[in-house]
Amino acid sequence: MEENNKKEEGLDLLEGEKEILLDHDYDGIQELNHPLPSWWMKSWAASIVFAAAYVMFYHFAGGPTSSEELARDMVKINELKAIAAADVSNFDIAHYNEWKDKNDATALGNEVYETNCLSCHAEGGGGDIGPNLTDGYWIHLKNRTPEELFPFIRDGFEDKGMPAWGEILSKEEIYAAINHIIELKGTTPPKAKEPQGEEVEQI
């Protein structure tokens, strides 16, 4: 007791710290035994219980391996991709017009064009690697209608460098691109390319 009193001499102890003062020192330095917060102790205990259950389930009770879980997830992903592909494969003008009425087609079209089309067709649709989209001449299409544009954008023309956007864009994004191309008709972009192909019917 006397030894403890000597150790406490000269220490600036707060109220209640005397009880948690450890009975040792090193070069005049002493420590306080502050307990860990109860929430930390509960979390630590819960993690031990979870780890034990995890090991038992995955290593001894026949739980699925990482490869099996990946295979299961890939089945679900492929099912969703098949549904999306089936949706993109069909065009319905009534659905397209309904989509236009419910959305800001111009803003969405600008966004899709700038993200996916600008690198080939240039700012304003004047054409660069790809043809000019603003004039009345088309290389592969007979008219500038949603019915003609949808399958062309979806399937592309890879021999001429036009990718199949149906593998990349959603149906609504293709709708937005169609609307943007139609809105480009008759505009005057800077440095527009000369007409290519044949003059087509306009809408």
Residue with tokens 């004047």: 126
* pLDDT tens sequence across 106-143: 999 999 999 999 999 999 999 999 999 998 888 888 88
- Is residue 182 within 8 A of residue 144, CB to CB? The reply is yes
- The answer to whether the Cα torsion of 103, 138, 157, 119 is positive or negative is negative
Q: What is the pLDDT of residue 53?
A: 94
Q: pLDDT value at position 101?
A: 92
User: Do 191 and 128 touch, CB atoms closer than 8 A?
Assistant: no
Q: What is the pTM of this model?
A: 0.58
The span from the CA of 63 to the CA of 55, in Å, is 9
User: With helix as H, strand as E and coil as C, how does 139-166 read?
Assistant: CCCCECCHHHHHHHHHHCEHHHCECCHH
What is d(CA 41, CA 102) in angstroms, rounded to the nearest whole number?
A: 54
- Homologous superfamily of 88-199 in CATH? Cytochrome c-like domain (1.10.760.10)
Question: Which residues partner with 26 through β-bridges?
Answer: 29
Amino acid at 165: W
Locate 39 and state its tokens: 């929430």
Nearest to 88, CA basis, from 157, 151, 176, 141: 151
Q: Where in the chain is the domain with CATH 1.10.760.10?
A: 88-199
pLDDT of residue 34: 76
pLDDT digits (tens, 9 = 90+) for 72-111: 888 888 777 676 666 666 788 888 999 999 999 999 999 9
Q: Checking phi first, is residue 161 left (phi over 0); if not, alpha (psi -120 to 50) or beta?
A: left
Q: What is the pLDDT of residues 15-37, one digit of tens each?
A: 666 667 777 777 777 777 777 88
